[in-house]
Structures are given as C-alpha cells and as structure tokens.
Amino acid sequence: MRTFRFLTVLGALALSCGDARRNPTPAAVTDAGATARFSVPIDGLPSFGADAALVTLVEFTDYDCAYCGKAQHTIEALRRKYGAELRVVVAERPLPIHPHARAAALAALAASGSPGFERFHASLFESPDSRADEALAELAIGAGVDRAAYARALASPEPAAALARSEKLADALHVRGTPAFFVNGRRIDGAQPLETFDSVVSTELAHALALVASGVRADRVYDAILDEARTNPAPFVDPPDESVLVPAARDVSGAPLYGRDDAKATLVLFTDFECPYCKRLDAMLRELVERHGDVRVVLRNRPLPMHPHARLAALAALAATAQGKLAAFAPLLFAHQDALERASLVSYASAAGLDVARFERDLDAPAAAAALAADEALAAKLDVRGTPTSFVDGRRIVGAQPLATFEAALPR
C-alpha cells in the first residue's frame, strides 16, 4: 500500500453543484464509446496494490452505506483474481443521510499513512456500530495502526482537508451517491454483480497490455489513461432531479399499503424488498401515517437486478395483495431480507394470516407476473432508476430521506 500526496489542482476541474443525499442506485457501466473515459486523478488518495498495476479501480465510498459494504466482497474477489494487475484507490464520499459516516471517513484518512490502513478500511465496513471516537480508535489499533500516530493524525487538520479534497473530486465527477467506481476511467454505479466488474476489468487489462506493448511503461499506464480521458472524455449523465414535479405521477395509484383508503394525500412508493434503504424507509412511512391521518401509502414494485431474490419477493407481495393482506405481509419481507427464498415467503404468508394454498397459486399465476411487468413499465415511464423512490402529489423523492422531507412534501 502506498499513500500519495494530494495535488492542489482540483480547483481547475469543472465542478457541478449536486445533492449528495441520494442513495446508491444500480446503473449500467457508463461508456459512451470505445475509448470514452472520465479523467479521475488519484494523487493523494490512499491505495492498495502496486503503483505499476495496469488497472486502477477508484471507489467512492461511505462506510455507513450498506451497498458500499456489499461491494467490498466484489472488490476482494477481483483482487484475488487479478492480483498485482489491479490497484484499488479509496476516495471518501460520506453522505449526509448517514450521521456517522463523516467520523468514519476522517478516522480512515487519519490511518491512511499506516500499513494497517487496508485492514482498518475493511474493519469499518464490518463494524458499522463502532462509530464513537474510542471505538474507531480501537478498530484502527486492532487493524495494526500505531496508536500514537493515529491520535496525532486525527488531531491534525490534514484528515479534514483531505476529506474536503476528496469530496471536491466527487463533485467534479458528479458522484452524488455511493458506491461509485471508475475502472481506468470507466464508471460503474452501485454494487453491481461481480460479472459486471470482471467484464470491465478484463477489458481494461487487455487495453493496458496493448499500451505496454506499444511502449508505455507499466508505471505510466494510468497517466496514459488520463491522457485518453482528456482527449475523449465520457459525458456526464446525471440522474433526474429528485425534487422535480412529474405530472404523470399525479394520477398514479397502487396497492394499498398503509393508511386509510379515503386519505386526502397519497404517497406512491416504488420499492425493492431486498433493498436495505427500502427497509429503512418502510419504518419511516409507517410513522408518517401514524402522525398524519390523512396520508396513505400505496406500493408499486421495482425489483432491482442486483438483488437475486427481489423479483420473487415482489411476486409474493402481489400474491398477498390479492388477498388484501399486503400491509401485514410487507413488513415481514423487510424484516427478513436475508431470507427471501420461496419456503420462507410461504412461512411469512402463514404468519400474516393468508390462505397459504391460494398464496402459492397466486405466486405462480400469470396475473402476478403481468402485474409485476406493469409496475416495472410504470417505473420506466416515470424514470424510476433506483429504490426507494416515492411520489407525493407528483413530486419525486429519491431515497430514504428524513421523515421531515416527506412531511414537507405533503399537500397543505
């Protein structure tokens, strides 16, 4: 592992003002052309792997982000496969929706000059409840970071300055959610499947080998990649403005979830039962309905490809809806996101008071598949790219935003 010094030239990069509250959304690899790339300077960012690695993967991460934690398993698998050919560079991007993420990022940067940084980086994902100053220090020391050096670094202004520079780079690259990755300048958003990363890394390794064959030194390959990115930059494709009014959503309804049918205000929720942020929002929406009697929540399904059990869970929710039991069934799905295979879904149906035999028939029925297809078509029409996404009187709210955000959007 080597830690580089930040250059102070990031101010020359074009910056964009963006709302960093967004939750991670799955997206395809951003690649506008065969050689179109983003220019991602890595000077000063801590890294794992050899400086002469032919492929550099830059990860913008948040230690309190559930998807960032999932992505670490993918990165570890890539490192096992590609060994010295892959370098991982860490860029901190703590999101405001995570109140303890900033403290964890500062702790990581304080440890970034230590041989124990790599283990500490992994420990922060493995111990999401250890965010108090003393707990972070013990994690760092347990990872092999020198206690005195860590304390001195944390007390200095450098971690905060380094974090500011990392966030400035994230803004320049329009990184508004986490995790976000750049593999030799090719962007991947979200905790995509291993196969997605493997395909990009293998392609970039072949390209790097061609550069070496043409005379570029291995330790200069990333510089050549940056030159390519400046010559043929990939375009920024920003997500839709999450506060925008979507008129087509005003007349949309869905399966009754929480609240009275005759409530004056309707919140349309697009959800994925395997999404941890959807679980978080579910609890908040129940509280919203308890606080405001004139609000109802209706549900549309948006299972994401990155979640292997999400489609079956969505079909199960539709089967529960057919018996008018969605409100009792949905919380069980969120409560058991690690157990959404068919046998477990049947047990939840029984616990929610459904007719189990009918539930299993409806789960396999063409009507459920058609209803799910209709939900997904509507999601595409409304440009719902990630979950959770809500619409209150046609106004889009992306992510598990604070309860106050939803209350402010309610019609007066």
Per-residue confidence band for 18, with pLDDT thresholds at 50, 70 and 90: very low
**162 and 272 share one domain:** no
**Residue 24 CB partners (closer than 8 Å, separation 6+):** 65, 67, 68, 177, 178, 179, 180, 189, 190, 191, 386
**253 and 168 share one domain:** no
Give the pLDDT confidence of 251-306 residue by residue, as tens digits: 899 999 999 999 999 999 999 999 999 999 999 999 999 999 999 999 999 999 88
Mean pLDDT of 112-124: 95
In a domain, 237, yes or no: no
Domain boundary among 231, 255, 273: 231
Per DSSP, helices labelled H in 85-220 are: 101-111, 117-126, 133-142, 147-155, 158-172, 194-213
In a domain, 215, yes or no: yes
How many domains, in total, are found in the chain? 2
Per-residue confidence band for 27, with pLDDT thresholds at 50, 70 and 90: very low
User: What pLDDT shows up at residue 21?
Assistant: 33
305: its two tokens: 């490809």
Q: Is 368 helix (H, G, I), strand (E, B) or coil?
A: helix
User: What pLDDT shows up at residue 25?
Assistant: 38
**140 and 190 share one domain:** yes
**206 and 329 share one domain:** no
**283 and 168 share one domain:** no
Which CATH number is 258's domain given? 3.40.30.10
The backbone torsions φ and ψ at residue 76, rounded to the nearest 5 degrees and listed phi first, read: -60, -40
Can you tell me which residue has the tokens 């999404």? 275
Closest CA to 301 of 263, 345, 337, 257: 257
Bin 364: left if φ > 0, else alpha if -120 < ψ < 50, else beta: alpha
pLDDT of 14 over the 50 cut: no
193/202: higher pLDDT: 202
**192 and 330 share one domain:** no
Give the domain range for residue 321: 247-409
The DSSP 8-state label assigned to residue 193 in this structure reads -
Can you tell me which residue has the tokens 């009792």? 328
Domain boundary among 188, 205, 231: 231
Mean pLDDT of 314-328: 97
Mean pLDDT of 147-155: 96
**90 and 163 share one domain:** yes
Whether residue 378 contacts residue 300, with contact meaning beta carbons closer than 8 Å, is answered with yes
Q: What is the pTM of this model?
A: 0.67
